[in-house]
Chains A and B, each alone.
Chain A
Amino acid sequence: MIEIKKLHKSYPIGKDSLHVLKGIDLHIKEGEFVSIMGSSGSGKSTLLNIVGLLDEHDEGEYYLNGQLIKNLNEKKAAILRNKFLGFVFQSFNLISYKTALENVALPLYYKGIPRKERLKTAMEYLDKVGLKDWANHLPNELSGGQKQRVAIARALVTKPKVVLADEPTGALDSTTTDNVMDLLRDINNDGMTVFVITHEEEVAAQTKRIVRLKDGIIISDELTSKSKAV
């Protein structure tokens, strides 16, 4: 599903450049539940952005769903994101003047789905995350956990190949963290590939594979007890 070979990325800072990713090799198969662990500055967010086609890598190869990602223009990238990827952000990133339902339906709008069908599908996914009754509420009328569940519904609504979650529990308390992680695990159990970035051990422990990153290099890549249970 995701195949990364010798990936390098550096950011220019003034005259110098900051080498963030120093040759990453990573292979994620369909249906995996992977977490990337690392302290801040380890390059985990950069990795997710490149995987999510929000940023470009400098060197190396990246295959998404078997397709080589190279010199993508923004239009192609947008279409690929819409087709293959679903995003869950730490700060939820819901559009504040749209209701929960409209937020969930937005990716379908960019996919060109007719409005009626869009809202119907969006409602199904809201139901899946248990927020059917909150469909017509604006994001600021929802709690943090509810917002993140709306965001997860939005990430799932296009039936992507991979769900990318950047610190999905970073802004949540421990109870809602567990709820959100349960939800992500349910999604994974349905066959979805889930790719989580976190710096919390408890969160990572709920995934099936932990990749530890330090200073732009993978220092360990191991399966957890959860994967053995299945």
Chain B
Amino acid sequence: MKFLFDSDTWQEIYGSIRKNKTRTAITIIGVLWGIFLLVVLLGAARGIENNFNKIFGSFATNSVFVWTQSTDTPFKGFQKGRRFSLTLRDVEILKSEFSKEIRLLAPRNQTNNLIIKDFKSGNYQVSGDYPVLDKIQKKDLMYGRFLNDNDILSDAKVCVISEDMYKDLFDKGDKPIGQYLKINSINYKLIGVYKRSTGINFDGNAAYIPFTTFQKVYNRGDKIDWMMITANEGINIEQMEADVLLTLKNLHKVHPDDKRAFGSVNLGVEIGKVTGFLTGMQFLTWFVGIATLIAGVFAIGNILLITVKERTKEIGIRRALGATPISIRRQIVLESVFLTTVAGMLGIVFGALVLFGIDSMIGSGDDAILINPTVNIPIILIAFLTLTVLGSLIGLIPAYMATIVKPIEALREE
């Protein structure tokens, strides 16, 4: 191993690399391109993944939403086309029957109303909610707090509004907390302002008031518009969705095969499609990257083989002067390892620069396509190591070819 640290070894390699500028350049480009592509593709894939994570991040992704429509099959004396509503009783029954499967359940009521603050006003969605909503659809609060159990118990006339509504209804610099907003001619005390959601959001700009307050003010009784359900870890969410719907159909005297009576969206399934796509994309990235890398390494081998043919005479001279076969092989293998290493490092550097460029151009802001496009250091190290090993293996072929001929035959070569 001593020869590795011998300046003479490197002097020889430097000499022969400098002599053959074109082939050095081509070789380096081959491998550089491979590892560059691998880095950029992996980084881009990571960026897209991060973007999806951001979109879904604030939302419990194992959620099912259920609402009612109208029946499409006559059942138990009811005609088809019957309209009906979910009720709080359904919520209680589901909670007790699916206590193992359901983690959180949020019944919701929504309407649209004019909201007035002094001389400013606007039409916004008003939503009656339980505090549990915050756990399903995370609210990031700029000021104050979200609804709590006390608000529910006391039917408090309090509300939480969005950042955009705050900007619409308040003067700049105005302190929002504790001020009063008039919704449907009733004054509500403002207790919180939440930031605009960067991810998926089913409410838009909504003012949240306590569920119980909504019930009374809008005279809903125990009817609810829809409900959000999230499942416990490890629960088959599609199975749970089907079971919940069947229970609800039974409660509301709906035919078990009725397709229209209940509407539902399974967020888990929708996200599963996206993550499946992501996995496919990552596989493709690896495949393309590694294939390019291998092609690059073969290019090195090929070029080395050609140059060994070109250099047969030089190798013959060296052998006449006393170069042992092992020193010739060592030099050629080291040349190939050196070239792959340099090319690999350059590829990583250029790849990182491109990722940095992507990041600073389209990697930030609310509508960023690629967020924080990065590549794991261990992955890069493994790729780099593989490259070096392949480089030395491929270098062995021309090295072997260089020493297999008798020195006199090598010398005769013109």
B406 within 8 A of A: yes
A75 touches B408 (CB 8 A): no
B323 sits at the interface (CB 8 A): yes
With beta carbons under 8 angstroms apart, the residue of B16, B319, B324, B327 that contacts A97 is B16
Task: Check if A223 is an interface residue, CB within 8 A of chain B.
Answer: no
Secondary structure call for the B interface: helix
Contact between B320 and A81 (Cβ–Cβ < 8 Å)?
yes
Stretch at the interface among A17-25, A31-39, A104-112, A181-189: A104-112
Specify which chain B residues have a CB less than 8 angstroms from the CB of A52 in the assembled complex. 320
Asked if A205 is an interface residue, CB under 8 A from chain B, the answer is no
Identity of the chain B residue whose Cβ is nearest the Cβ of A97 in the assembled complex:
B19
14 A–B contacts, CB within 8 A, in A order: A52-B320, A54-B320, A55-B406, A78-B324, A79-B322, A81-B320, A87-B320, A89-B411, A93-B313, A93-B317, A97-B19, A106-B318, A110-B318, A115-B11
Output the least CB separation between A159 and chain B (Å).
13
A78/B8 in contact, CB under 8 A: no
Check: A147 CB closer than 8 A to any chain B CB.
no
A96 to B310, CA, bound (A): 13
Q: Please give the distance in Å from A63's CB to the nearest CB on chain B.
A: 20
Report if B403 contacts A (CB, 8 A).
yes
Query: A158–B322 Cα gap in the complex (Å)?
Result: 10
**A49 near B: Cβ within 8 Å?**
yes
Residues 325 to 367 of chain B near chain A (Cβ within 8 Å): 325-327
Q: Which residues of A contact B403 (CB under 8 A)?
A: 74
Tell me which residues across on chain B come within 8 A of A106, comparing CB atoms: 318, 321
Contact partner of A54 among B18, B318, B325, B407, CB < 8 A? B407
CB of A98 within 8 Å of the partner chain = yes
Q: How far is the CA of A55 from the CA of B320 in the complex (A)?
A: 11
Residue of A nearest to B328 (CB): A78
Given the complex, which residues of B lie within 8 Å of A111, measured CB to CB?
Answer: 322
Interface residue from A49, A96, A110, A115 paired with B321 (Cβ < 8 Å): A110
Chain A residue, CB-CB nearest to B320: A87
Q: Give me the 9 closest cross-chain CB pairs, A-B, nearest first.
A: A82-B322, A97-B19, A54-B408, A110-B322, A78-B324, A107-B321, A55-B408, A93-B317, A75-B324
B7 at the interface (CB under 8 A from A): yes
Given contacts A54-B411, A95-B317, A98-B15, contact A110 B8 (CB under 8 A): no
Pairwise interchain contact B324-A79, C-beta atoms closer than 8 A: yes
A102's nearest neighbour on chain B, judged by CB, is B15
| Interchain CB contact under 8 A, A75 and B326 | yes
A154 close to B (CB within 8 Å): yes
Shortest B340–chain A CB gap in Å is: 22
Nearest-neighbour CB distance to chain A for B363, whole angstroms, equals 46
Closest chain B residue to A81, Cβ basis: B322
A132 an interface residue at 8 Å Cβ cutoff?
Answer: no
CA distance A75 to B321 in the complex (A): 12
Let me know if A83 is at the binding interface, CB within 8 A: yes
For residue A110, which residues in chain B have a CB less than 8 angstroms away from its CB?
Answer: 318, 321-324, 327
Identify which of residues 58-102 in chain B touch chain A, using a CB-to-CB cut-off of 8 Å. none
Contacts of B327 in A (CB 8 A): 110
| Chain A residues, CB < 8 A from B11 | 115
The answer to the question of B222 belonging to the interface, with a C-beta cut-off of 8 Å to chain A, is: no
Q: B168: CB under 8 A from chain A?
A: no
- Shortest B310–chain A CB gap in Å is 11
How distant is B153 from chain A, measured CB to nearest CB, in Å?
Answer: 89
Selected contact of B325 from candidates A55, A75, A81, A89, CB within 8 Å: A75
User: Which among A75, A109, A111 has the highest number of chain B CB atoms within 10 Å?
Assistant: A109
Q: Mark A38-74, 1 if CB is under 8 A from B, else 0.
A: 0000000000010010111000000000000000001
Contact with B along A99-121 (1 / 0, CB 8 A): 00010001101110001000000
Cβ of B314 under 8 Å from chain A: yes
* CB nearest neighbor in B for A74: B325
B103 to chain A, nearest CB (A): 73
B15: chain A residues within 8 A (beta carbon): 97-98, 102
A44 to B314, CA, bound (A): 23
Which residues of A from 103 to 158 have beta carbons under 8 Å from B?
A: 106-107, 109-111, 115, 154, 158
Most buried by B among A89, A102, A110: A110
Q: Name the distance in Å between A88's Cβ and chain B's nearest Cβ.
A: 10
- Name which residue of chain B comes closest to A105, CB basis: B8
User: Measured between C-beta atoms, what is the minimum distance from B414 to chain A in Å?
Assistant: 8
The reply to whether B317 and A78 contact each other, CB–CB distance below 8 Å, is: no
Q: Within the assembled complex, what's the spacing in Å between the Cα atoms of A94 and B318? A: 10
Which residues of the other chain, A, contact B7 by a CB distance below 8 angstroms?
115
Separation in Å of the A118 CB from the closest CB of chain B? 8
CA distance A94 to B12 in the complex (A): 15
Find B411's partner among A56, A83, A93, A115 (CB 8 Å cutoff): A93
Q: Given the complex of chains A and B, what is the CA–CA distance between A95 and B15 in angstroms?
A: 11
Nearest A residue to B19 via CB reads: A97
Judging by beta carbons under 8 Å apart, are A97 and B18 in contact? yes
Q: A54-B411, A109-B8 are in contact. Are A87 and B18 (CB under 8 A)?
A: no
Do residues B408 and A49 form an inter-chain contact, with CB atoms below 8 A? Answer: yes
